[in-house]
Structure 1
Amino acid sequence: MKFAELPLPPLVQKGIEETGFTDCTPIQEKSLPLALSGKDVAGQAQTGTGKTAAFLIALFTRLLSQERSGTPQNPRALILAPTRELVVQIEKDAQTLGKHTGFTIQAIYGGVDYMKQRDALKAGADVVIGTPGRLIDYLKQKVYSLREVEALVIDEADRMFDMGFIADLRYILRKLPNYDKRQNMLFSATLNTRVMELAYEFMNMPEKVSVTPEQMTAERVEQVLYHVSRKEKFPLLLGLLRKEGMARTMVFVNTKREAEFLQDRLRANDFPCRVISGDVEQRKRLKILEDFKDGTLPIMIATDVASRGLHIDGVSHVINYDLPQDCEDYVHRIGRTARAGAEGKAISLADEDGAFYLEAIEDYIKQKIPTEWAEDEMFVHDYKRSKPRPHPEPKHPKKGGRGEKPRSGEKPRSSGKRRPAEGEKPAAAEQAAAPAPSTEGGQPAENGEAAAKKKRRRRPRKKPAADAPQG
């Protein structure tokens, strides 16, 4: 099916044409006719299949077909997403597809521009795209109201459960108009029992649409697995980077600590790279993503915060330096390459720990990952070792407190006691604190008062002697 065959407004068709879309993907072909007719849709499809464009086209069509009935300050449509990166990506696609619709689109997410986003939301926006946390923050401040929302979209609903957002999600959904007074769309990579319970609770008899191919992973991704020991992982990674000539590569690890360690070692061996994780400041994360997209940064090391929702053209290789503990994350990770019909390669390194996750991953994707054995010449053993990161200095007590070290060139502070001048007798308190004079036997003499203050020692109790045997 082509987009030109769908009953879309000219303003939406114009945005689709400028984007370059002509043919519908399977999920778009199944969900768009239902959504355009006004029905609620719960769609399931793998990553990178055009779910975002599907709900944006349906949402813009609905808003254009109805006149605004409420106040201009409150949003007409709400799109909920689990991560900041996904919110930014959806907003970018919305600005492109809805370029000619005249709708005001505002992204709301944590980490940046608190007052700027607050003022923009208060001024009014037709479409609001956000993460649950900050949306609830502004909602409790009564910056905006959700009572006039005409369309709701929940993206990556299964991820909402995984990240613990379900309580926040339910709080927001209860602030919306009744489910029969708005159109609801839910899209996710998996429609498990928890997600469908949410759909039946807050949606109006949703039509379930599933596009699940026999092969869970993208068809154009070439998958390779290397069994390697933990000590040989980095030498093999260097060999692969030099051999493959990877122009734009994403390296996935399981922990932030491993990501920073890998970044230091790659930089020491002249491989420019940056780390993106949940702890990185939002401004830095966006700057890293922009540098990676425009080719300034060839290698990006990431935790699973970047495994979903990011559409980056031209990612040639994805490397699982650590195999994911969740089998679904494997599909999302390698889905960062071979997007929009392109080809890509996914390389996984299975060490002693990662081998335990391999069976579950292969069961989930319903195929064996092709295994290759690394030759000796692929390992780089003469690499430069990175300098260890400095440990944070321990915090000293407050100035003037006990244990504080004097600064350089500064005399240590006195305890406040004055030394008696030569020939001067010490004060009475110091005399009382002074030790008693020694006796001839070398032991300190005890007066009556000192003996009374002396701690009493308990004598150990003697065990009763056993009864003597009778003779």
Structure 2
Amino acid sequence: MSGTGSHRACGRFTVSLPAMTDKHLTNIGFDSFDLPDPVLQGIREAGFEYCTPIQAESLPIALAGKDLAGQAQTGTGKTAAFLIATLNHLLRHPAHEERRANQPRALILAPTRELAVQIYNDAQALTKYTDFTSAAVFGGTGYDKQRKQLEAGVDILIGTPGRLIDYYKQHIYDLKAIQALVLDEADRMFDLGFIKDIRYMMRRCPPPQKRLGMLFSATLSFRVNELAYEHMNNPQSVEVAPEQVTADKITETCYMTANEEKIPLLVGLMQTMTEARTIVFVNTKRVADKVWGFLQGNGIDTAVLSGDVPQKKRLSLLKRFQEGELAVLVATDVAARGLHIPDVTHVINYDLPEDAEDYVHRIGRTARAGASGDAISFACETYAFSLPDIEAFVGHAIQTQTVDPALLAEIDPNSRVYPKKGSRQPHRGKDGHKGHGKGHHHKSHKPKDGEKPKKRRRRRHGPKPPQSGNRE
């Protein structure tokens, strides 16, 4: 680790960074590493010159062929670090002559479809001057297309566990030729219940001694470290953590608000923002639909990103948001982790998350790569209890303030917009109760003119009750 200003203590690398040319970059250039020319060309064309702290600390270990488990704050360059290390390893260690086309050489596991696509896009840029092929495999779309890609053969396979295991069990590909294995957002894998699938995949790769293993995570909890030591070859632990959990350029504010004030406050705040790119986080899909409906109904063009939005539509919405065509995205926690969306100026926690760690991941969508941003939270009657845990987790008090009536927009209760027919939004009658959707309404029993009312037969459940006097 010479040249990085780090020292080793108790088998763990503790960061002591050298002087930086920028607060979020070290003075260590990528050209200072002994990287193959095709990789360096891709790095330069991608616009990278100096390493971030996690890159400066992890690359010397991985480039030396040693396994590592890396922890760093979200948005600090973990993806580039493991891609560069993977490409170097594949170029330095040619594939075995007996390798078949449907045997990938590198496997990168991601917890979400959006993250898999992001890693794939970064891989495309960094492999431009190599002969490597890559593919992204994930559920929700493109089943036959992805299958054909695997059958044709790829060098770098990126994907989510479910779809990967599906194809594996069909013998579309196998993992016997894997030379590099990467597990990204490992803590998120536990949160989403993927850990059995991850172990299934890892056990079907060559043993740890015969491949390069890298694990990256926002937190290196006990269970993440246990996974690393179980399936990796004596991994070195690299932790690059700032003095504070949240990014230092995020301005955090919390409004103490009543439940009925949340929509007027949200609309009022949105109306004061100019040239903003905002993600509004909610805890449930039902609330996402409600927030979307009122924003849309009050002239604020918005989209919803949640787990049950079809994959093709999710990717389209993300692209529109990333390109600035959409200024506001209402999202559940599916969008809180692993996505790099540039130039997000505001994050609004319409609902405070019940898990304090989710707060950090949500507001981490703004103030990325050295930019500044605003994180605004609503501490309402339902979720205010989460605030003390969040403040304890981030290590500082969040500035709270009461709601200025001037911030509350006048909202017509009938201004809410509902999704068009054919969506998953339930039908709602005039009384506001959920119905059963088109074609499933109960028939009316109102009699026609001159017709006697029909008696509705009550449907009995179970045996006929005993008559009076015959009870036992």
Distance 2:173 2:258 in 1: 55
Query: 5+ residue gaps in structure 2?
Result: 1-27, 419-426, 429-434, 446-465
Do the aligned partners of residues 202 and 381 (structure 1) sit closer, same or farther apart at CA in structure 2, a change above 3 Å counting?
same
1:244-263 alignment runs, 5 A limit: 244-263=273-292
1:386 is matched with 416
Q: Is the 8 A contact 1:225 1:370 kept in 2?
A: yes
1:282 is matched with 311
1:57 is matched with 84
1:149-298 alignment runs, 5 A limit: 149-298=178-327
2:261 is aligned with what amino acid? E
**What is the deviation of 1:73?**
2.3
Q: Does 1:314 align with 2:358?
A: no
**What is the deviation of 1:72?**
2.7
Aligned length: 409
2:18 is matched with none
Distance 2:127 2:438 in 1: 53
Name the TM-score, length of structure 2 as normaliser: 0.83
Distance 1:261 1:234 in 2: 9
2:33 is matched with 6
**What is the deviation of 1:459?**
4.2
Once the two structures are superposed, what CA deviation does each residue of 1:319-345 show, in whole Å capped at 9, x if it has no partner?
A: 111111111111111111111111111
Do the aligned partners of residues 404 and 203 (structure 1) sit closer, same or farther apart at CA in structure 2, a change above 3 Å counting?
same
Q: Is the 8 A contact 1:43 1:210 kept in 2?
A: yes
Once the two structures are superposed, what CA deviation does each residue of 1:31-71 show, in whole Å capped at 9, x if it has no partner?
A: 00000000000001110111111100000011111111122
**What is the deviation of 1:394?**
6.9
Distance 1:67 1:233 in 2: 59
2:383 is matched with 354
**What is the deviation of 1:220?**
1.2
2:416 is aligned with what amino acid? S
1:332 is matched with 361
Q: Is the 8 A contact 1:246 1:317 kept in 2?
A: no
Distance 2:228 2:267 in 1: 46
Distance 2:274 2:286 in 1: 26
Distance 1:119 1:191 in 2: 37
- Out of 46, 62, 83, the residue aligned to residue 73 of structure 2 is 46
- Out of 301, 313, 323, the residue aligned to residue 352 of structure 2 is 323
2:94 is matched with 67
Secondary structure at the aligned position of 1:110 is classed as coil
Do the aligned partners of residues 175 and 461 (structure 1) sit closer, same or farther apart at CA in structure 2, a change above 3 Å counting?
closer
Q: Is the 8 A contact 1:227 1:350 kept in 2?
A: yes
- Out of 55, 71, 82, the residue aligned to residue 28 of structure 1 is 55
Once the two structures are superposed, what CA deviation does each residue of 1:96-132 show, in whole Å capped at 9, x if it has no partner?
A: 1221112101000001110110010011000000000
Q: Does 1:377 align with 2:403?
A: no
**What is the deviation of 1:381?**
2.1
**What is the deviation of 1:372?**
2.8
Distance 1:387 1:239 in 2: 17
**What is the deviation of 1:393?**
3.0
Q: Is the 8 A contact 1:41 1:209 kept in 2?
A: yes
Do the aligned partners of residues 106 and 461 (structure 1) sit closer, same or farther apart at CA in structure 2, a change above 3 Å counting?
closer
**What is the deviation of 1:288?**
0.3
| Pair member with larger Rg | 1
Do the aligned partners of residues 263 and 7 (structure 1) sit closer, same or farther apart at CA in structure 2, a change above 3 Å counting?
same
Distance 1:317 1:287 in 2: 21
1:67 is aligned with what amino acid? P
**What is the deviation of 1:404?**
8.0
Distance 1:186 1:461 in 2: 69
1:419 is matched with none
Distance 1:460 1:23 in 2: 90
Do the aligned partners of residues 197 and 282 (structure 1) sit closer, same or farther apart at CA in structure 2, a change above 3 Å counting?
same
Identity of aligned residues (%): 53
**What is the deviation of 1:247?**
2.1
**What is the deviation of 1:385?**
2.5
Secondary structure at the aligned position of 1:371 is classed as strand
2:108 is aligned with what amino acid? I
Do the aligned partners of residues 382 and 395 (structure 1) sit closer, same or farther apart at CA in structure 2, a change above 3 Å counting?
closer
**What is the deviation of 1:458?**
6.9
**What is the deviation of 1:309?**
1.0
- Out of 126, 131, 138, the residue aligned to residue 109 of structure 1 is 138
1:218 is aligned with what amino acid? A
Name the TM-score, length of structure 1 as normaliser: 0.84
Q: Is the 8 A contact 2:102 2:172 kept in 1?
A: no
**What is the deviation of 1:305?**
0.3
Do the aligned partners of residues 18 and 387 (structure 1) sit closer, same or farther apart at CA in structure 2, a change above 3 Å counting?
closer
**What is the deviation of 1:370?**
1.5
Query: 5+ residue gaps in structure 1?
Result: 398-402, 407-455, 463-471
Do the aligned partners of residues 150 and 460 (structure 1) sit closer, same or farther apart at CA in structure 2, a change above 3 Å counting?
closer
